[in-house]
Structure 1
Amino acid sequence: MALTRARTVQAPPLGCDPADLAQVEAVVSASGTSFGKGMRILPPDRRYGMYAVYAFCRLVDDVADDEGATEDKEARLEAWRRRIAGLYEGRTRDALDRVLAVVIARFSLRQADFEAVIDGMMMDARGPVVAPDEAIFDLYCDRVASAVGRLSVRVFGDASEEADQVAYHLGRALQITNILRDVAEDSRLGRLYLPRELLARFNVPLDPARAPRAQGLEGVCRVLAGRARDHFRAAHRAMARCNRQAMRPARLMGATYGAILTAQERQGWRHPERRVSLSRPRKLLIAARALVG
């Protein structure tokens, strides 16, 4: 008589409907970024938790970047604010809502952090950000990056105050690095995220079309690069006081973006249209060192 092996049927991640999970993952895949691959280091529940957070961020960012009328974008973002509030009141309407509702409950995600992300998208939706003052610059970085970090560290597995400090500093470090990397691209879109106090200090015009060609741009960007370095260091100090396993994705992001910043500093900003990137072998080496170090 042939013996049959009992098959263990695994529950789907987060206990969610596999069809709902597939729809959320499809948003991540459609983004064309390496985010999905980076999150594979997480256990399934946390991985799909991050997919849901990313899908939310991707969709509200798409609203902000839409070419439609400002009033329409504001209305759509306010609809997202009501939608998030509904999740905390037990109301869901589609696959992403259903998965997010589970993720919110499982990882104790805070409504205020979702709302901060929406507030950041609202800043972009109301017209190109051009030479914000230092206070608005920092607020923007907090909303579009550190708030995402505050959601992420909880999904990673650490809800401590130190983990929030990781989010505070690493989010700002990553966002400043992105701004420094995308000066030329942002200029073409009529944006200039560099703080006006620094632009004035280095005699850089507040015009997005002229700033990338200004001689003083190098000085502005060097100051911001130093600021990003300070945030990277502060984030790593905070990580040392956190759950080590939970901080693996944060270490990976920090190492990758730290290398991008190093490459950008080496290249300088005389030709900001030359966007810095890392080779695949370099990324793999960075990942290996970050995850075992």
Structure 2
Amino acid sequence: MISPDDTAYVTNLVKASGTSFYHGMKILPPARRDAMYAIYAFCRVVDDIADEEGRDFTSKQSELEAWRQRIAALYERAEADSPITRTLLSAIQDYQVRREDFIAIIDGMEMDAGEPIIAPSLAELDLYCDRVASAVGRLSVRVFGDASPAADEVAHALGRGLQLTNILRDVAEDAERGRIYLPGEFLAAEGVTTDPARILTAPALPQVCTRVAEMAEQNFTRANNAMALCNTKAMRPAQMMEASYRPLLDILRRRNFDYAKGRVSLPKWKKLMLAARLLAG
């Protein structure tokens, strides 16, 4: 049983993050919602470790390793020492979420904690997407109420679709941070520079982004095909996540991936409309 204080802690952490996740997960029953908030809080903390400016890789590695040990303690000895780990322990016990998926998330954050990622190979990009997004999906579908192979396929494909959309949305912000998550093979094929300081003015950047958008669309389609084989009610949060992200690809394409026009987002009214439609269905 999670204490009210621990529930309040993780809920406030999620709420303070300012993302739509806080409101999106309210469609879940309270116990499942609290489990998802615990997973989000874990992801937020390890992501903050990886992204913290001014710290060397060794110190970040040390903190991430401490989280690996905390996850091990949860599974091996049911030991928890903080609001986040106590709420995670409850999620582990109630929904049989898997240890390897927590570890994959930490491994993904470690990929971001070192030297900036610049033009990864397609294989490296796929591994990164699996760790930072699909692994979260594999935890989530179990909390949503479906642990079937089809639900894992939803997590595999939807996680990649969401992360590739994130990458396309954030090309300008990532370039400012000295990072390029667009695949090296696509950049080379179009003659686009791998210099973050110059990539936004590369004439063929839209062609590269179009190919990545096609990858994202293929993954969204795979996710939808797998959802048809899953528990309909359990898939509603996953459908909401797709509905909040997939339209961004159309906006980016209409702009021809011109990042000088600013960061794209879905209007709040449209998010609410999509949520209402899914809940009604």
TM class by shorter-chain length? over 0.9
Once the two structures are overlaid, the 10-residue window that deviates more, 192-201 or 88-97, is 88-97
Matched, 1:230 2:221: no
Q: Structure 1 CA distance, aligned partners of 2:10 and 2:158?
A: 25
Structure 2 distance, partners of 1:291, 1:204, is 43
Residue 60 (structure 1) aligned with residue 24 (structure 2): no
Distance 1:226 1:96 in 2: 37
Q: For the residues of structure 2 that align with 1:43 and 1:86, how far apart are their CA atoms?
A: 28
Match of 1:274 among 243, 256, 262: 262
- Counterpart of 1:193 in structure 2 is 181
Give the root-mean-square deviation of aligned CA atoms.
1.0
Q: CA deviation at 1:212?
A: 1.5
**In 1: Cα distance, 2:274 partner to 2:260 partner:** 24
Contact 1:252 1:291 in 2 (8 A): no
Separation in structure 2 between the aligned mates of residue 289 and residue 95 of structure 1, nearest angstrom: 35
Unaligned runs of 5+ residues in structure 1 are 1-14
8 A Cα contact 1:184 1:273, kept in partner:
no
Q: Separation in 2 of the partners of 1:291 and 1:266?
A: 29
Aligned match of 1:95: 83
Match 1:34 to one of 12, 15, 20: 20
CA drift of 1:24 comes to 1.2
Q: CA deviation at 1:272?
A: 4.9
Instruction: Report the counterpart of residue 67 of structure 2 in structure 1.
Output: 80
Percent same amino acid among aligned pairs? 54
Amino acid at match of 1:55: A
Structure exhibiting the larger radius of gyration computed from Cα positions: 1
Pick one of 123, 129, 135 that aligns with 2:111: 123
CA deviation after TM superposition for structure 1 residue 200, in Å:
0.2
How far, CA to CA, are the matches of 1:212 and 1:105 in structure 2? 47
Aligned residue for 2:259, secondary structure, equals coil
1:130 aligned counterpart, secondary structure: coil
Normalised TM-score (structure 2) = 0.97
Deviations 1:225-250 (A, max 9, x none): 01111100110010010000000000
TM-score (norm 1): 0.93
Structure 2 residue 241 is the aligned partner of structure 1 residue 245: no
After superposition, the C-alpha distances for 1:101-153 in whole angstroms (9 at most, x for unaligned) are 11111000100000000000000001211110110000000000000000000
Aligned partners of 1:117 and 1:148 also within 8 Å: yes
Between stretches 149-158 and 257-266, larger displacement belongs to 257-266
Q: Pick one of 2, 5, 9 that aligns with 1:23.
A: 9
Matches of 1:52 and 1:22, distance apart in 2: 11
2-structure distance, mates of 1:181, 1:203 = 21
Q: Distance in 2 between matches of 1:135 and 1:47?
A: 34
